[in-house]
Chain A
Amino acid sequence: MSAASATFGGQRTIGLGFSLLIIALYVFLLMPLLTIVGASFTSGMMIEFPPQGFSLKWYHEFLSRKDLVDGLLMSLRVAAITAIVTTTIAMMAALAGQAMAGRMAGWFQLGMTLPLLVPELLTAVGLLFFLYKIGLGKTVLGLQFGHILMAFPYAYVSITAALRQVPSSLEEASSSMGASSWQTFRLVILPLVMPGVAMGAIFAFINSFDLYTISLLLKPIGGNTLPLALFDFLTYEFKPTAAAAATLSILLSLCGVVLVQRLVGLQRAF
């Protein structure tokens, strides 16, 4: 009896400790976000937390600065194109990877995730030389290539994971009922991996939106992405305008996630 209650008590302690750990983890993860969001509403002149008073003036300031707004628009456009193109290519690559067998498949997988393993700076320098060679140095198209390259592994991994969940017998069943490979893909595979595809698109979008080093080296003449514009801005003025810009970015990402959630049901991706 006493032994049993001791065990029970022990389990409770572990449960409590575990809950505390989870809470601590969340605080650690969310603190920077809360700080920056809070700081964007300050009525003072400095980025600080806790904020002094409440005001929306830094949002107004942000929207009235052409360099920052241009950066935001450029980032959004590049990220959107990156998400669409990357997801499409990653889908094809994931299908190819699945069709391979044995050692070949392992090497293929490694190759597809290489941009994650090579330091971003090296990739950026290499790309810069390459893009100049083919006449795309310092152009928006070149920047777009760089972003697609960097975002690709995220989409690839996400879609590959989703594809693994689809038993091969579904493809065989579909084929035995007369479906061509394309029909099987469109009617069976794609609907089933859609949550993974959506996840991949979100990863690609956020990754692109966030890229700094690649953008710094490849940015087109006269153009800036939001991270670059913000960094330039912060070099001279340490004003909460930057916090307002960051908060808007977070809001935009959240909108994207909610939209995808509505469209395909993200919970199925996990």
Chain B
Amino acid sequence: MATVEAIKLHKRYGDFVALDDVTLNAESGQLVTLLGPSGCGKSTTLRCLAGFLDPEGGDIKLDGDSILKLPSNRRGFGVVFQNYALFPHMTVAENIGYGLRLRKCPKPELVRRVGEAVDLVRLNGLEDRLPRQISGGQQQRVALARALVMKPRLLLLDEPLANLDARLRDEVRWLIRDLQQQSGITAFYVTHDQSEAMAMSDMVAVMKSGRVAQFATPREIYQKPVERYVADFTGEANFLSCQSVNAQGAGQYAIQAGGAALTVAGVPGLTGRAELLVRPETLRLAAAGEVADFNGRIVKSAFVGASLLCEIALPDGGVLKLTAPPNTPVHVGDAAAVVMDRAQAWLMPEVAP
């Protein structure tokens, strides 16, 4: 459908730098997620793409042509808002047909396309209701249908699930992903929820105070983060600090961490201090007689039904969190031996240079 490039976007509000050199791109049909805490610039980036805000520097290109000069009403993008932004005085059908009506779409075609959109988001029977007469999940589906019915060149979603409860969130999330893939539409998706970002995206941009900390596939973001901030934001993580690293060829390092000597993969070009990322799911308690990677002492354990959460203190002061099968005999104060899937450990800097 359309490729989109945001190139070196800059935006400031007074002294506050909202966007600092933000560069991103979406290939045709990709869903790109902007992930980060509030105030990181993810919504600002989206608003620049939509044309609601003008960046002070940089460019935005659609299929290679700059669209910075185009006002939002001539960009032809579909936008879905966190608060849905449905027109409260119009029915579901009128909301969905609003853009077509503006385009002077002939009545029979308008009715047909609104009907198709209603089918698509499964709102049949609610066409004549007002927004306040339907639930939050239904309102969000109206907002989605309203954006998609225009066959937009680009779909922009600003935290579309934030106001929904957990069960609905799942349902609408898959609906969004399905519709996006069916129609092959290029999309940008803003969220602060890492699981949403992981599950839906082709590419994720993790943002940090107005900058893109890392722009990569969900797998890479999760398994090969460029710095601690990214690892922290994308899921449960243990960090072991290493005083010095020894390069052993391309991206391989020999290190001392958590009282063990290890050879691990990591960000290329590391020197000096570094952090070892160990995701909890890559750790398990050693079976009797098995060779352990780490030896420590259990300081906490909690039974959470499906599993047992344990915290293990290591001799150098590091702490490892891991999950064990629910019936593992574990007592606080016991010695514990831990085995790590070494292929999944990842060495990275505390802060990317």
Interface residues of A (CB under 8 A from B): 167, 169-170, 172-180, 183, 187-188, 191-192
Interface contact A178-B73, CB-CB below 8 Å? yes
Q: Does B79 contact A (CB under 8 A)?
A: yes
Chain B residues positioned under 8 Å from A172 (CB to CB): 50, 52, 72, 79, 81, 85
CB proximity to A under 8 Å, residues B47-94:
50-52, 71-79, 81, 83, 85-89
Q: Does B102 contact A (CB under 8 A)?
A: yes
Quick one: given A183-B102, A191-B89, A192-B89, are A176 and B75 in contact (CB under 8 Å)?
yes
**Bound complex: CA of A75 vs CA of B249, how far in Å?**
94
Chain B residues positioned under 8 Å from A188 (CB to CB): 87
Chain B residues positioned under 8 Å from A192 (CB to CB): 87-89
Interface contact B88-A176, CB-CB below 8 Å? no
Q: Can you list 17 contacts pairing A with B, beta carbon distance less than 8 Å?
A: A167-B83, A172-B50, A172-B52, A173-B79, A173-B81, A173-B146, A175-B52, A176-B51, A176-B72, A176-B75, A176-B78, A177-B99, A178-B76, A179-B98, A180-B73, A187-B98, A188-B87
Interface residues of B (CB under 8 A from A): 50-52, 71-79, 81, 83, 85-89, 98-99, 102-103, 146-147, 150
Most buried by A among B75, B86, B102, B103: B102
Quick one: given A169-B83, A169-B85, are A176 and B102 in contact (CB under 8 Å)?
no
Q: Identify A177's interface contact among B51, B88, B150, CB under 8 A.
A: B150
Interface contact A170-B87, CB-CB below 8 Å? yes
Interface contact B73-A169, CB-CB below 8 Å? no
Q: Identify B103's interface contact among A167, A175, A178, CB under 8 A.
A: A178
Quick one: given A183-B102, A191-B89, A192-B89, are A176 and B83 in contact (CB under 8 Å)?
no
Chain A residues positioned under 8 Å from B71 (CB to CB): 175
In the complex formed, the residue of A with least CB distance to B103 is A178
Chain A residues positioned under 8 Å from B102 (CB to CB): 177-179, 183
Quick one: given A167-B83, A169-B83, are A175 and B89 in contact (CB under 8 Å)?
no
Apart from A173-B85, A175-B51, 5 more pairs, CB < 8 Å: A172-B85, A173-B86, A176-B78, A178-B76, A178-B99
Chain A residues positioned under 8 Å from B83 (CB to CB): 167, 169
Interface contact B88-A174, CB-CB below 8 Å? no
**Bound complex: CA of A169 vs CA of B43, how far in Å?**
13
**Bound complex: CA of A179 vs CA of B72, how far in Å?**
9
Chain A residues positioned under 8 Å from B52 (CB to CB): 172, 175
Quick one: given A178-B73, A178-B103, are A167 and B85 in contact (CB under 8 Å)?
yes
A196, chain B: closest CB distance, angstroms: 14
Chain B residues positioned under 8 Å from A174 (CB to CB): 87, 98
Quick one: given A176-B75, A178-B102, are A169 and B89 in contact (CB under 8 Å)?
no
**Bound complex: CA of A36 vs CA of B146, how far in Å?**
57
